[in-house]
Amino acid sequence: MKRIIIAIDGPAASGKSTAAKLLARKLGYVYLDTGAMYRACALAAKRARIDITDPLALAALMSRIKIRISFAEEGNIIELNGEDVSSAIREPDISLLASAISAQRLVREKMVELQREMGRHGGVVLDGRDIGTVVFPDAGLKFFLVAPPEVRARRRYLELLQKGLKPLYAEVLQEMIARDEADSSRELAPLVPAEDAIHIDTKDYGIEELTELLHRHFLKRAEGQ
Ligand code: CDP
Q: Are 90 and 163 in contact (CB under 8 A)?
A: yes
Which residue range forms the structural domain that includes residue 87?
Answer: 5-218
Q: What is the CATH number of the domain that holds 47?
A: 3.40.50.300
Which atom of ligand 1 is least distant from the CA of 156? 4
- Report how far ligand 1's centroid is from the alpha carbon of 222 (Å): 29
CA dihedral 37, 134, 155, 118 (to 10 degrees): -40
Answer whether residue 225 is part of any domain.
Answer: no
Q: Are 46 and 61 in contact (CB under 8 A)?
A: no
Q: What is the pLDDT of residues 86-121, one digit of tens each?
A: 999 999 899 999 999 999 999 999 999 999 999 999
Answer whether residue 223 is part of any domain.
Answer: no
Q: 216: which DSSP letter?
A: H
- Report how far ligand 1's centroid is from the alpha carbon of 42 (Å): 11
What residue type is 172 in one-letter code? V
Answer whether residue 163 is part of any domain.
Answer: yes
Q: How many domains, in total, are found in the chain? A: 1
Answer whether residue 114 is part of any domain.
Answer: yes
Answer whether residue 154 is part of any domain.
Answer: yes
Which atom of ligand 1 is least distant from the CA of 36? 8
Answer whether residue 67 is part of any domain.
Answer: yes
How many CB atoms within 10 Å of residue 20? 29
Q: Supply the pLDDT for residue 100.
A: 96
Q: What is the pLDDT of residues 115-168, one digit of tens each?
A: 999 999 999 999 999 999 999 999 999 999 999 999 999 999 999 999 999 999
- Report how far ligand 1's centroid is from the alpha carbon of 225 (Å): 31
Answer whether residue 127 is part of any domain.
Answer: yes
Q: Identify the band that residue 74 occupies on the pLDDT scale cut at 50, 70 and 90.
A: confident
Residues framing ligand 1 (Cβ under 6 A): 12-13, 17, 34-36, 38-39, 95, 98-99, 102, 128-131, 179, 183
What residue type is 155 in one-letter code? R
- Report how far ligand 1's centroid is from the alpha carbon of 192 (Å): 13
Q: What is the pLDDT of residues 40-63, one digit of tens each?
A: 999 999 999 999 999 999 999 999
Signed CA dihedral, 170, 172, 177, 181: sign only: positive
